[in-house]
Amino acid sequence: MTQPNPDLSVNLQRLAAWNTAARRRQSFRSLQDIHRRGLSFRAPAVLPLAMARRPALAMTPALERLMGAPSFCAIVIAQEDRILFEHHAPDFATDQLHSLQSITKTFAHLALARLIEGGRIDPARPVGEYVPESGDAYVRASVQQVLDMDVASNFAEDYDAPYAPCPQRGTPVGYARQEIAMGWRLPPDGEPEFGVRGFAAGLVAAPRGDDSTTRYTSPNTDMLGWIIERASGRSLASHVDEIVAEAGLEATFHISADCEGVPVLSGGGVMTARDLARYGLLIARRGGAFMRDAMSGAGTRYGVSPTLRYRNHLMSNGTWVGHPGYAGQFLMVDPAKKASAAFFSVLETEYGEREGYFAEVISGLEAVLRRLD
């Protein structure tokens, strides 16, 4: 018997070895080789993007600061069928794959948009009507609450949470346990593997309170994937395949799969920066009532910002929609301008976080999108 995979082992920081500060930058470029299991998809036709460079966009001060930081990896600004601006760090190639982390959650938005607009799902109905075995935290919650990160449970999205032993039912559960379900780390010795749906169904409801703050919980996305599958009558993987084809991605799209073969929509996606820009253009093209509702100002209040809302599994300030990803990723889409900004970076702090960093990223991407016609 060989030794356990050293990439998936856990160190004294309670992080998987691949996600430690010294290894994170390289690991984000090879997550498709690190996770236990994965699926890959190729689009049947590539969306061509002509080069129409606007070098003056590089002189946006907020963007200059982002590109000059040691964390920077890549940025691609695209509009309609053109790349207007593209810049990569010296150690990052144009065809380099990179982990999307939680930007992957937007696949749930796209898949659900058609099911909701087509009358297959009523977001006001409880999750239990679509997935009766969804568990205590979700069975009575509405689909809309899950979409808006408005479900309170015993899960906490903290990256330094205890890894083992398996907590007793109802006690706090941290993100380290979610990563076992995702196939991003091994279970503790003697504990069997479990998938993302079983993990979500095992969570316990907690008092909601009366504020409107976003309760960011990655298992919410995996629950939405389950709802998508049940309501549509076809596999979640088929929805991913459909979205990849519609986006016209050029390179292979990789996504982690759990021990039951379920695509990990909560954070398992891997693609190039150019393809992330293409994917953003798809979000812009789709539009529709579900998108407009995401930009309406409804939903939960994201962080301390007075303008940002989390609605329909997207973040929005009313002008753009987008989503962040752990340790420095961001996709911003301006539907009115048919433009997208794909941004990759890797914070090499202990837990991949730095206070105020995403506010800087948002400011930089907003500034450059404002300059587009």
Q: Residue range 280-309: average pLDDT?
A: 95
242 lies in a domain? yes
Q: What is residue 3's predicted lDDT score, i.e. its pLDDT?
A: 52
Q: What is residue 10's predicted lDDT score, i.e. its pLDDT?
A: 59
Q: What is residue 11's predicted lDDT score, i.e. its pLDDT?
A: 55
Q: Residue range 326-339: average pLDDT?
A: 98
Identify the domain containing residue 109 by its residue range: 6-370
- The SS3 assignment for 330 reads strand
166 lies in a domain? yes
Q: What is residue 1's predicted lDDT score, i.e. its pLDDT?
A: 44
- The proportion of the chain whose per-residue pLDDT surpasses 90, expressed as a percent, equals 85
137 lies in a domain? yes
Query: Which of these, 252, 237, 236, lies nearest to 43 by C-alpha position?
Result: 252
Does pLDDT of 158 surpass 90? no
Q: How many CB atoms lie within 10 A of CB 46?
A: 14
Q: What is residue 155's predicted lDDT score, i.e. its pLDDT?
A: 93
Q: Residue range 241-254: average pLDDT?
A: 98
Q: What is residue 165's predicted lDDT score, i.e. its pLDDT?
A: 74
pLDDT tens per residue across span 202-236: 999 998 877 899 999 999 999 999 999 999 999 99
Does pLDDT of 14 surpass 80? no
CATH number at residue 49: 3.40.710.10
Q: What is residue 13's predicted lDDT score, i.e. its pLDDT?
A: 56
Q: How many CB atoms lie within 10 A of CB 161?
A: 18
Q: What is residue 9's predicted lDDT score, i.e. its pLDDT?
A: 62
Number of independent structural domains in the chain? 1
Q: What span, in angstroms and rounded, lies between the C-alpha atoms of 219 and 209?
A: 20
Q: What is the DSSP letter of 205?
A: B
158 lies in a domain? yes
Q: How many CB atoms lie within 10 A of CB 87?
A: 17
- The proportion of the chain whose per-residue pLDDT surpasses 70, expressed as a percent, equals 97
- List strand residue ranges (DSSP E) for 257-351, in order: 269-272, 300-301, 309-311, 314-316, 321-325, 329-334, 339-345
Q: What is residue 103's predicted lDDT score, i.e. its pLDDT?
A: 98
68 lies in a domain? yes
Query: Any alpha helices (H) in the chain, and if so which ranges?
Result: 21-27, 31-34, 61-68, 106-117, 143-147, 175-182, 196-201, 219-232, 236-247, 273-286, 288-294, 357-370
Tell me which H or E stretch contains 155: strand 155-156
User: What average pLDDT does the structure give for the chain?
Assistant: 94
Give the predicted TM-score (pTM) of the model: 0.95
106 lies in a domain? yes
1 lies in a domain? no
Q: What span, in angstroms and rounded, lies between the C-alpha atoms of 232 and 238?
A: 10
Q: What is residue 307's predicted lDDT score, i.e. its pLDDT?
A: 92
Does pLDDT of 38 surpass 50? yes
Q: What span, in angstroms and rounded, lies between the C-alpha atoms of 221 and 218?
A: 6
118 lies in a domain? yes
Angle of helix 106-117 versus helix 219-232 axis, rounded to 10: 30
